[in-house]
Amino acid sequence: MEVVGGSDMYDLNYNIPVKIDNRDLKLIMATMPSTVMNEISTIELDIINTRSNEVNNVIITPEGNGVRFNPSEVFVGAIPSGNKSTVTVTLNTMASTSGEKEVSFTASFFNGDNYHVSGKKDTTIDVVEQPSLIFTSIEVKNIGKQYTFTGDINNFGTTDAKNVLVSVAGSDDIKPMQPYANYFIGTLEADDFSSFELSAQILSSNITKVPILIEFRDTDNVYSSVTGYIDLENIATYENDNKPATWVWLIAAVLLIAVAIAIAYSWKKREQTLETDD
């Protein structure tokens, strides 16, 4: 302490040390996939407080080009010094085109009364245009214009699909038919499959593929849908128009020939008998 202005003055100067901590919050992508399909993915992000004091009102904001996040912001709250918090966000690439997409995360927070925004944590993901829900083992049967489609729907993605419903997408030339105009599957876990059956009336010979609407909810109960197709040209179609099979016709022909021979033999025998009586 020193006296300023002489012994009769009252102004005093103190040397007060002030420590400035400019360390930022550290963001670590714990489960960030490098490649995704047209699917719903889950991302875990760790927020680490490297500062010497607690920070408050921490909010995480994800951003991306050509992708969607849910929720758009995540409230974390307070993080003590030297601790971390983990948040989970959903990455939606259902409608994304193929190619690399830039995604980033930022954290905003209060240090005392002062508002701060952390630096961006950037990364790149590669999107492959391939739906996560796909059809396999498709079989098509028809009676005239009435078609039945059976097969399996497979969850090729990394998260569960809930309330899965498959339906024939109707049009002027494609009419969904009961009892299987749609088929409810329920929850389809990742790396699992379920069988389905659908019915439709196809009114035009120009139809080469039938659109099948797949509706479901993701892990956050957000509605999503994707359209798959059943190809009528490259899949064996088993036709049954209620006509007798070929072997039936063969048996009938043999029976008719046998009856004709029996009748001819009977007439010949009768003629021989009459000639003998005369």
Exposed e or buried b for every residue in 102-114, given b needs 16+ CB within 10 A? ebebbbebeeeee
150 or 9, higher pLDDT: 150
pLDDT of residue 267: 61
Q: What number does CATH give the domain 132-239? A: 2.60.40.10
Average pLDDT over residues 196-207: 93
Q: 130 or 22, which is more confident?
A: 130
Per-residue pLDDT at 23: 78
The pLDDT of residue 104 is above 60: yes
Residue 113: pLDDT over 60? yes
Kindly report which listed range (12-26, 96-110, 217-231) carries the lowest average pLDDT score. 12-26
What are the residue ranges of helices labelled H in 183-245? none
Asked if residue 108 lies in contact with residue 116, where contact means CB atoms within 8 angstroms, the answer is yes
214 confidence band (pLDDT: 50, 70, 90): very high
| Beta-carbon count within 10 A of 77 CB | 11
Overall CATH class of domain 25-130: mainly beta
pTM: 0.68
Look at residue 199 and tell me whether its pLDDT is greater than 60: yes
Domain map of the chain by residue range?
A: 25-130, 132-239
**Does the pLDDT of residue 253 top 60, yes or no?**
yes
**Rounded Cα distance, 167 and 182, in Å:** 4
Averaged pLDDT score across all residues of the chain: 84
How much of the chain, in percent, has pLDDT values that exceed 90? 58
